Structure 1
Amino acid sequence: MRAVKNLLVLYTGGTIGMLQTAEGLAPAGGFEARMREHFAVCGDAPKLQWSLRELNPLIDSANMQQANWLAMREAIVEAVERDGHDGVLVLHGTDTLAYSAAALSFLLLGLPVPVLLTGSMLPAGAPGSDAWANLVGALNLFESGLENGVQLFFHGQLLHGCRASKLRSEAFDAFKALPRQRDGERAAELPARLDYRQPRQPVSLAVLPVFPGLAAGLVRGLLDSGIQGLLLECYGSGTGPSDDQALLDVLHDARQAGVMIAATSQCPEGAVVFDTYAAGSRLRDTGLVSGGGMTREAALGKMFALLGAGLDADSAEHWFALDLCGERA
């Protein structure tokens, strides 16, 4: 825990900096000037030194893609390694804020500075907006001291980057840490391949919920599309239609062909424990790796970081099953 002296504010777009257009709210540049103007007249200016960089292009976070995650990682690494910043605040839209927090948690493993993400439900300047409260609250945390690693701050709550989910579409307290089971073994050390300095590549991934009537043909079509990883959201403790041999065969064949397939629970307070039911054991035996109590956001971000580092399915599964930054422990 240490106070940050030289902060980078990385503005990616999102509601916090949007302005009204003929088509509705849209990301707008010039947010550094708006921040400095606000602090000049409101008297709550942070004492720490900060500068702002706009990530080009600014986006509505509903348009978030893997390329944007990679651009954020690159900008953050440059800020620390080249420009000497000792903390980074990422301003981000709320629709995919939890996804980006999770992805960056794994893309920045070992980074020796704190990274904090925040945003707002209403634009800065809108009547009754939460933007300035979230922004000033985040800056105050940097002044008082933060642990290294990625965290999310919203509506007065400081949340682990891999444990947050957006649960409300309109309320200011939109984000919560779901009470999911944490029982993963902590990795003794991180391989150099997963260090924050190592660039990543885009990965073809898919997320598929298990549902009554899920057909083997649908899953086969998805797997045959060339995806490298599949996140299967199972029932309860990791169960699914285990009496559908055709479906089990599709999953088994895809894993044998080198596709990584991981399982999470659909339940907000759930965790995958395959051996609880025979239905879970049969799914596990096709080659699925358990996501334990990880959220969808954490499991997807972790899969992206592992496969994007060039690991094959076997190596990726090994590290997926271990706790790397507090996502499973």
Structure 2
Amino acid sequence: MRAVKNLLVLYTGGTIGMLETPEGLAPAGGFEARMREHFAQMADAPQLHWTLQEMNPLLDSANMQQHNWLAMRDAIVEAVDVAGHDAVLVLHGTDTLAHSAAALSFLLLGLPVPVLLTGSMLPAGAPGSDAWDNLCGALRQFEQGLEDGVQLYFHGQLLHGCRASKLRSEAFDAFAALPRHRDGERATTLPAELGYQHPRQPVNLAVMPVFPGLQAGHLRAVLDSGVQGLLLECYGSGTGPSDDQALLDVLQAARQRGVVLVAISQCPEGSVVFDTYAAGNRLRGAGLVSGGGMTREAALGKLFALLGAGLGAEAAEQWFALDLCGERA
């Protein structure tokens, strides 16, 4: 950890910088001036040197898409490798904050600077807002020193970028890292195509929960839509309707044509351990790869980064099973 001397604040939109419009709160530009004005009025303002860059377009994070993740990745890589910034703070809306933190964790593997994401539940300037506390708290994390890699700061908590989830929609302590079992062997080296300098492409991914009444036709409709990877949210330790041979046949056929199938637990404190039940073993036999104790956000972001790097199904499964940045270990 080292002192940060040249911070980039990457403003993507989100509640933190929203202003009221006739249609309701919406992202607004000019946030750098508002930040500097607020800090000028503080007796103990953060003393970091920083510059702000606005993404275009600014987003309500409910509209976040893969191409926005890639644009953030490109902006961060350029800021570090070209402009010489030694840290990046990303201001982001809360709806998809944990998803973006996880995705960037895998898109920026090996980046030699710390990246921190934060946002707020109420806009800066709103009565009782948490915006300035979160923003100043994040800046003070850089003053104290942060390890390289992607992390999330919210309501006084510093969370691993691949372990955070949004649990509450109406409270300032909206984010937490729930205890989930870690089971992955750490990758000792990474291929060049998984490093932060390697560009990525959009990937056709789908997420589907297992539920009583799930039919083979439901899965077939999703898998036949051209998806390259499916994240299946299973019961408990990785079980599902394993007595439905038609459903298993759909999964097996998809895997045989190159679709990567990943299983995670839909329990907030769950982990996939296929060997626990015969039902889990049958899903593994149909081609599913265990996501262990990864969150939905982490598993989706990892699948996106692996397939987006151009890896084939077998290579993606191999790297998915390994811990790349602390998501499984």
CA distance in structure 2 between the aligned counterparts of 1:173 and 1:142, rounded to whole angstroms: 21
Structure 1 contact 44–136 (Cα < 8 Å) conserved: no
CA distance in structure 1 between the aligned counterparts of 2:43 and 2:223, rounded to whole angstroms: 56
Q: Number of paired residues? A: 329
Residue 68 of structure 2: aligned partner = 68
Structure-to-structure mapping, 1:262-281, within 5 angstroms? 262-281=262-281
CA distance in structure 1 between the aligned counterparts of 2:316 and 2:2, rounded to whole angstroms: 33
Residue 58 of structure 1: aligned partner = 58
AA partner of residue 200 (structure 1): R
Residue 210 of structure 2: aligned partner = 210
CA distance in structure 2 between the aligned counterparts of 1:2 and 1:263, rounded to whole angstroms: 38
Shift of 1:201: 0.2
The TM-score normalised by the length of structure 1 is 1.00
Are 2:95 and 1:95 aligned? yes
Residue 110 of structure 2: aligned partner = 110
CA distance in structure 1 between the aligned counterparts of 2:156 and 2:146, rounded to whole angstroms: 15
Structure 1 contact 7–89 (Cα < 8 Å) conserved: yes
Are 2:249 and 1:249 aligned? yes
Are 2:58 and 1:48 aligned? no
SS in 2 for 1:42: coil
Structure-to-structure mapping, 1:91-240, within 5 angstroms? 91-240=91-240
Shift of 1:43: 2.2
**Sequence identity of aligned pairs in percent?**
83
CA distance in structure 2 between the aligned counterparts of 1:215 and 1:321, rounded to whole angstroms: 28
AA partner of residue 179 (structure 1): P
CA distance in structure 2 between the aligned counterparts of 1:224 and 1:159, rounded to whole angstroms: 37
Structure 1 contact 114–147 (Cα < 8 Å) conserved: yes
Are 2:260 and 1:284 aligned? no
Deviation sequence 1:99-128 (CA, Å, 0-9, x none) = 000000000000000000000000000000
SS in 2 for 1:2: coil
The TM-score normalised by the length of structure 2 is 1.00
Structure 1 contact 272–291 (Cα < 8 Å) conserved: yes
Shift of 1:45: 2.1
SS in 2 for 1:46: coil
Are 2:27 and 1:27 aligned? yes
SS in 2 for 1:125: coil
Residue 312 of structure 1: aligned partner = 312
Structure 1 contact 239–274 (Cα < 8 Å) conserved: yes
Residue 11 of structure 2: aligned partner = 11
Gaps of 5+ in 1: none
CA distance in structure 2 between the aligned counterparts of 1:44 and 1:18, rounded to whole angstroms: 25
Shift of 1:188: 1.3
CA distance in structure 2 between the aligned counterparts of 1:249 and 1:53, rounded to whole angstroms: 50
Residue 80 of structure 2: aligned partner = 80
AA partner of residue 87 (structure 2): G
Deviation sequence 1:256-310 (CA, Å, 0-9, x none) = 0000000000001100000000000000001110000000000000000000000
Deviation sequence 1:123-161 (CA, Å, 0-9, x none) = 000000000000000000101100000000000000000
Deviation sequence 1:60-80 (CA, Å, 0-9, x none) = 000000000000000000000
AA partner of residue 292 (structure 1): G
Gaps of 5+ in 2: none
